[in-house]
Amino acid sequence: MRKIVFITGTRADFGKLKPLMHYLEQRSDIELHVIVTGMHMLKLYGSTYLEVKREGFTHIYFVANQHANEPMCSIMGNSVCLFSRLIGEIAPHLIVVHGDRLEALAGATVGALSNTLVCHIEGGELSGTVDDLIRHAVTKLAHIHMVANDDAAARLVQLGECGSNIYVIGSPDLDVMRSDTLPSLQQALAHYQIPSANYAIAMFHPVTSEEADMPAYAKAFFSALEKTGDRYVVVYPNNDAGTGAILAEINRHRENRRFSVFPSIRFEHFLTLLKNANYIIGNSSAGIREAPFYGVPTVNVGTRQSRRYFCESIFNCGYHEQSILDAIHKAKSYTNCRRSMPFGDGNSVEKFALALNSTGFWQTPFQKAFVDIDVCTSDEPLPALCLETAA
């Protein structure tokens, strides 16, 4: 029996990893171990470790790797030390990490330095912030890559990764988004005591490279929201450097009856609320990835998602109040509501299973080789293993 460790550090990555975890939990030849850490363990952000616990995984570990406002470099050091001990005890055959958070970097570091295979979910993406540095660093530490689309696969090849170790599976959260088990809008509204079905979603995260400007940016953002007269479901930011300024603005507007404020929202409930929202505003990747899938317009504020995919339902603006208000007006006037699906078609679990069962997956060498490419032959297709599923 093979042991596989998943590391989840945020409400966002858990929503993406959960379908893959449940698939492995059901396999008799796999022993799933789940490490819950990062923001999950912080009361300020909703103690979302409880959401993971409710899923009923057999082998689950809760690792507090930080306290509120601890510097990112300290969190990284804490995580490597804690994960190293725990993973040494579990002795897994594979460590699975997601995205661009410090917990993913720490988990990949431990795997790479302990001769344990590391699988990175959704590498090869671009955002335009320090997240890119972490994401690409995880790529170079990982042995196996599960990416959302061909563009991401091509970037990994540019980074010197071996095409035969890259699997295009789509974004796993689309499996949940397409399911028929999501709560109804009435259930979601009742669960969170949101008084109206006429609302937009607001999520504004810090940009670590612009930390000094975040107080002014947050003030302009919430001032613009106030002036619209719209009702908002406001979700707390992540805990990156600069989050304090955003939380201060949220607290300053908490008594506004048009603002329903939550440290966190369960993933399935969030998807239902997003699907039925008038628009989503802020700088969350949910506005770039999930909202277009539902045909919901997005007001994308600032630079945090500047290198992401964009489609016609996304309206970009600067940090200034008037720029935000102008973009909101455009979003509210948008009537096309056509879905955009650049991140897969909702069958990532099936493709993940095909990858695990494919010839050579478990023979992936621990010693990585840098694969050079001829940058002058851009007309040639880049190698990546695209997994075909049954119709």
pLDDT interval class at 69 (50, 70, 90):
confident
Per residue in 33-55, pLDDT (tens digit) is 999 999 999 999 999 999 999 99
**Nearest residue to 132 (alpha-carbon basis) of 305, 363, 328:** 305
Torsion of CA 349, 353, 358, 364, to 10 degrees: 80
User: Is the pLDDT assigned to residue 276 strictly greater than 70?
Assistant: yes
Question: Is 326 strand, coil or helix?
Answer: helix
DSSP string over 198-265: --EEEE----GGGGGGHHHHHHHHHHHHHHH---EEEE---SSTTHHHHHHHHHHTTT-TTEEEES--
Cα 13 from Cα 63, distance rounded (Å): 16
- Which of 373 and 102 is assigned the larger pLDDT? 102
Residue 30 φ then ψ, to 5°: -125, 135
What is the pLDDT, as a whole number, of residue 389? 62
User: DSSP strand E in 272-356: where?
Assistant: 280-282, 298-301, 314-317
Give me the percent of the chain exceeding a pLDDT of 70.
95
What is the pLDDT, as a whole number, of residue 62? 99
Alpha-helical (H) ranges within 235-347 are 243-252, 267-275, 290-294, 321-333
pLDDT interval class at 91 (50, 70, 90):
very high
Per residue in 339-365, pLDDT (tens digit) is 767 788 889 999 999 999 998 999 999
DSSP string over 169-206: ---THHHHHT-S-SPPHHHHHHHTT---S--EEEE---
Give me the percent of the chain exceeding a pLDDT of 90.
83
What is the pLDDT, as a whole number, of residue 336? 76
Q: What is the mean pLDDT of residues 295-315?
A: 90
What is the pLDDT, as a whole number, of residue 201? 99
What is the pLDDT, as a whole number, of residue 375? 61
Q: What's the Cα-to-Cα distance from 182 to each of 26, 178, 179, 268, 269, rounded to whole Å?
A: 21, 9, 7, 6, 7
Query: Distance between alpha carbon 385 and the CA centroid of its chain, in Å?
Result: 23
Q: Which among 104-113, 177-186, 283-292 has the top mean pLDDT? A: 104-113
What is the pLDDT, as a whole number, of residue 22? 97
pLDDT interval class at 231 (50, 70, 90):
very high
Contact at 8 Å (CB) between 33 and 63? no
Residue 192, by phi and psi: left (phi above 0), alpha (psi -120 to 50) or beta?
Answer: alpha
Cα 245 from Cα 212, distance rounded (Å): 10
What is the pLDDT, as a whole number, of residue 2? 97
Residue pointed to by tokens 């949940």 = 176
Find the farthest-apart pair of alpha carbons in the chain and give their distance in angstroms, rounded. 59
Structure tokens at 152: 């991401």
Contact at 8 Å (CB) between 8 and 14? yes
**Bridge partners, residue 385, by sequence:** 167
User: Is the pLDDT assigned to residue 390 strictly greater than 70?
Assistant: no
pLDDT interval class at 383 (50, 70, 90):
low
Q: What is the mean pLDDT of residues 71-96?
A: 97
Cα 148 from Cα 343, distance rounded (Å): 5
Domains of the chain: 2-177+346-386 (3.40.50.2000), 185-333 (3.40.50.2000)
What is the pLDDT, as a whole number, of residue 308? 78
Contact at 8 Å (CB) between 36 and 8? yes
Query: Distance between alpha carbon 72 and the CA centroid of its chain, in Å?
Result: 18
Structure tokens at 245: 């300024």
CB within 8 A of 234, min separation 6: which ones? 202, 203, 250, 253, 259, 260, 261, 262
Q: What is the mean pLDDT of residues 303-327?
A: 92
Question: Is 121 strand, coil or helix?
Answer: strand
What is the pLDDT, as a whole number, of residue 350? 96
What is the pLDDT, as a whole number, of residue 345? 80
Per residue in 236-260, pLDDT (tens digit) is 999 998 999 999 999 999 999 999 9
Q: What is the mean pLDDT of residues 264-289?
A: 96
What is the pLDDT, as a whole number, of residue 305? 87
Structure tokens at 89: 């005890």
CA atoms 246, 249, 254, 258: torsion sign: negative
- Average pLDDT over the chain, rounded to an integer: 93
State if pTM tops 0.85: yes
